[in-house]
Amino acid sequence: MAVVGGPRSIDAPIGRMIAYLLGVAVLAASITLLFLSMRAVLDIGGACASGGPYVPRVECPDAVVAMTPLSIFAAFGGIGLMLWGAAAMSGPWAGLAFLAWPALFLSLGWNFLEYGFFPPEGADGWVWSWIFCGVVFVLMGALPLVFVVGAWREATGERAYGGGRVVVRRAPPMTSAPSSPRPETTPAEHDDIVERLERLAALRRAGDITNDEYELTKARLLRQETP
């Protein structure tokens, strides 16, 4: 099946395309669950525990305990579906799976920064440890994002220019090489052809060849004479 409607056409089996889109949806849902689970932990102070032989000071919410590991495994499954579907699709669609890293770290970094500058009730001023983690997470997400976007533009043949335009220069059309001129006959060759024509005319007068044979042989000799 081929889908046309953008800068590139997608030619792939419909099953692979559905798998790719399903992988995108699963990956987006997984990152969203991790984002929300982290906010739930930050709301209760940024640390919690659940289970084990010791009684934790802060019990993790049940939703966090269930959703955090589920979202992590689902994210790997979504990436796998995207890569499997992209393997049968023309174009650099597999590269979109690498956006999972920037999306994850930028979203978690946002949580750290938001809660560091605006901590939950009970905190005294800014939480510098969260702000530091937020800056590190943003850098870990932003730097690979620049690389992924650059690689995508390189793969799709796009170039950015100062005027915001894309200039495509066409290669000059291929032209066939000029045929080499046929060498002119030398004086010796010219005299030889004249002599052969005279002998040919004598054969016709003697009746040794027919008029058709004479004309055919004469035409061949004249073609050799013409440069």
Average pLDDT of the residues of the chain: 79
CB atoms within 10 A of CB 102: 20
pLDDT in tens, 112-167: 999 999 988 766 789 999 999 999 999 999 998 888 787 777 766 644 444 444 44
Query: Would you list the DSSP string of 31-74?
Result: HHHHHHHHHHHHHTTS--B-SSSS--SSBPPHHHHHHHHHHHHH
Cα torsion at 126, 128, 134, 137 (round to 10°)?
A: 180
What is the predicted pLDDT for the residue at 184? 59
| Per-residue pLDDT at 19 exceeds 50 | yes
Least confident of 36-45, 107-116, 160-169, 180-189: 160-169
Contact 44, 58 (CB under 8 A): yes
How far is residue 145's CA from residue 101's CA, in Å, rounded to a whole number? 8
User: Among residues of the chain, what percentage have pLDDT more than 70?
Assistant: 74
Instruction: Give the DSSP H or E segment for 3.
Output: strand 2-3
- For the segment 12-23, the average pLDDT, to the nearest whole number, is 90
What is the predicted pLDDT for the residue at 173? 55
Distance, CA of 1 to chain centre: 19
Q: How far is CA 10 from CA 13, 14, 16, 95, 96, in A?
A: 10, 10, 11, 15, 15
Contact 143, 133 (CB under 8 A): no
- For the segment 16-45, the average pLDDT, to the nearest whole number, is 93
User: Among residues of the chain, what percentage have pLDDT more than 90?
Assistant: 33
Residue 59 neighbours by CB under 8 Å, 6+ apart: 48, 49, 50
Instruction: Give the DSSP H or E segment for 155.
Output: helix 128-155
Contact 2, 11 (CB under 8 A): yes
What is the predicted pLDDT for the residue at 219? 84
What is the predicted pLDDT for the residue at 165? 45
- Pick the residue with more confidence: 13 or 70? 70
What is the predicted pLDDT for the residue at 159? 45
Which tokens hold the place of 28?
A: 């987006």
- For the segment 161-178, the average pLDDT, to the nearest whole number, is 48
pLDDT in tens, 199-213: 888 888 888 888 888
Query: Would you list the DSSP string of 185-223?
Result: PPHHHHHHHHHHHHHHHHHHHHTSS-HHHHHHHHHHHHH
